[in-house]
Amino acid sequence: MALPVHKQLTYWGIAMAVFLVLMWSLGHVLLPFVLGGAIAYFLDPVADRLEGLGLSRIAATGIITIACILVFVMMALLVIPTLTNQALQLFNVAPEYARSISTFLIERFPSLLDAGSTLRQSIDTIGETIKSRGAELLETALGSVASILNVVVLLVIVPVVSVYLLLDWDRMVARIDELLPRDHAATIRQLAGEIDRTLASFIRGMGTVCLILGTYYAVALMIVGLQFGLVVGFIAGLVTFIPYLGALIGGALAIGLALFQFWGDWLSIGMVAGIFAIGQVVEGNILTPKLVGNSVGLHPVWLILALSVFGALFGFVGMLVAVPVAAAIGVIARFAVDQYKQSLLYRGLSGRDED
């Protein structure tokens, strides 16, 4: 005989409370395992595809591991140092750009912005603050990341956890399926399948879109000759998961920098704007429909709220689990709404009589 509903809710509530307490108290310990699980989940379809080509799971995992090591080494040697240097340089030249803005406004609107006006002083203050605090903030952030994600965690624990989870992923999923409550196994499988499809569409799909667009923006802007093109491309690609925001922020930053660097060279400025226009066309008509799909089920506002709340409560680990939890809550909420619409509470006696 199945447990009464109120007892089931009690047990599931206790399990959720234990999960939240563990997240709160052991977040820094769980971080490498959460990262490793996220990497394994992201790469599992690649391993399945290699298995479909006739390779064993061990061979597929080995090929993926070697490829990831090569990519990491290339990024560590080529991309990361350049990205850090450009970010620091951007902070350092911010006061010069601020003064250029004030000079431009003075020339165009002398009556609104004289040399001693509050607006000009504010612009100069912002520029100096960015210079003095920006580089310090970046270096502090990098130092904090280095202290949290120390060399052992970054170079040993996370890859090892990822490899083991990727190797045993299918067996773990089968084992969890065996432990499902028999009375609710079918419903849980249905909900888990919908959550997986949502996550696959968003995390794998949008992750791939962000990587492709970020690489495209960075390479194209550097070819055009824009200073800090790598930083701009990285920022634009990073926030592409929020529709239109990546192109808006990256485009505004790139065009603003191009106006200072190429003032009078309208061809170069137009090329920078064209790069983001082409990126938006490709993203909207090719990348997103093919890799993400038309209906993901995660509204951008809901996603931002989840990232903000979980990040504030549980730190970096909370931000990592925010998307899966948001997807799960969204799927469960839609399931609950469907059940409500089929219940007597929604349909009433008149709805039952119509059947």
Q: Among 116-125, 155-164, 179-188, 232-241, where is mean pLDDT lowest? A: 116-125
Average pLDDT, the chain: 75
- The answer to whether residue 343 scores a pLDDT higher than 50 is yes
pLDDT of residue 103: 66
Mean of pLDDT values over 222-243 = 78
- The answer to whether residue 270 scores a pLDDT higher than 70 is yes
- The answer to whether residue 113 scores a pLDDT higher than 60 is no
Residue pair 68/85 in contact (Cβ under 8 Å)? The answer is no
Mean of pLDDT values over 152-165 = 80
Task: Please name the residues in contact with 221: beta carbons below 8 A apart, sequence gap of 6 or more.
Answer: 229, 230, 232, 233, 254, 272, 275
**DSSP one-letter string for 141-153:** HHHHHHHHS-HHI
Q: Mean pLDDT highest for which of 85-89, 220-224, 250-254, 302-306? A: 220-224
**DSSP one-letter string for 320-341:** HHHHHHHHHHHHHHHHHHHHHH
Task: Of 173, 175, 272, 172, give the one whose Cα is nearest residue 222.
Answer: 272
Look up the pTM and report it. 0.65
Ordered by start, the domain boundaries in the chain are: 31-179
Q: How many degrees, rounded to 5, is the angle at CA 29 between CA 28 and CA 31? A: 65
Mean of pLDDT values over 327-341 = 84
d(CA 262, CA 267): 9
**pLDDT band with cut points at 50, 70 and 90 for residue 323:** confident
**pLDDT band with cut points at 50, 70 and 90 for residue 59:** very high
Q: Mean pLDDT highest for which of 83-87, 247-251, 348-352? A: 247-251
pLDDT of residue 267: 86
Q: Among 16-25, 163-172, 190-199, 346-355, where is mean pLDDT lowest? A: 346-355
Instruction: Tell me the angle at which helices 169-178 and 158-167 cross, rounded to the nearest 10 degrees.
Output: 60
Which comes out higher in pLDDT, residue 89 or 109?
A: 89
Which comes out higher in pLDDT, residue 190 or 313?
A: 190
Mean of pLDDT values over 93-108 = 63
Which comes out higher in pLDDT, residue 130 or 313?
A: 313
**pLDDT band with cut points at 50, 70 and 90 for residue 310:** confident
Mean of pLDDT values over 18-39 = 78
Mean of pLDDT values over 277-293 = 78
Length of the chain: 355
Q: Among 56-70, 207-221, 241-255, where is mean pLDDT lowest? A: 241-255
- The answer to whether residue 92 scores a pLDDT higher than 60 is yes
Which comes out higher in pLDDT, residue 30 or 177?
A: 177
Task: Of 214, 227, 195, give the one whose Cα is nearest residue 88.
Answer: 227
pLDDT of residue 73: 81
**E strand or H helix at 192, and its extent?**
helix 185-199
* Per-residue 3-state assignment (H helix, E strand, C coil) for 289-324: HHHHCCCCCCCHHHHHHHHHHHHHHHHHHHHHHHHH
Q: How far is CA 209 from CA 41, 291, 295, 297, in A?
A: 17, 7, 15, 17
pLDDT of residue 144: 47
155 secondary structure, DSSP code: I
Mean of pLDDT values over 178-201 = 83
CB-based burial, 88-127: b 16+ in 10 Å, e otherwise: eebbebbbebbebbbeebbeeeeeebeeeeeebeebeeeb
**At residue 35, what is the residue type?**
L
Q: CA-based diameter of the chain, in Å?
A: 83
Task: Of 277, 276, 272, 280, give the one whose Cα is nearest residue 223.
Answer: 272
Mean of pLDDT values over 280-287 = 81
pLDDT of residue 235: 79
pLDDT of residue 64: 92
Strand blocks (E) in 82-144: none
pLDDT of residue 345: 76
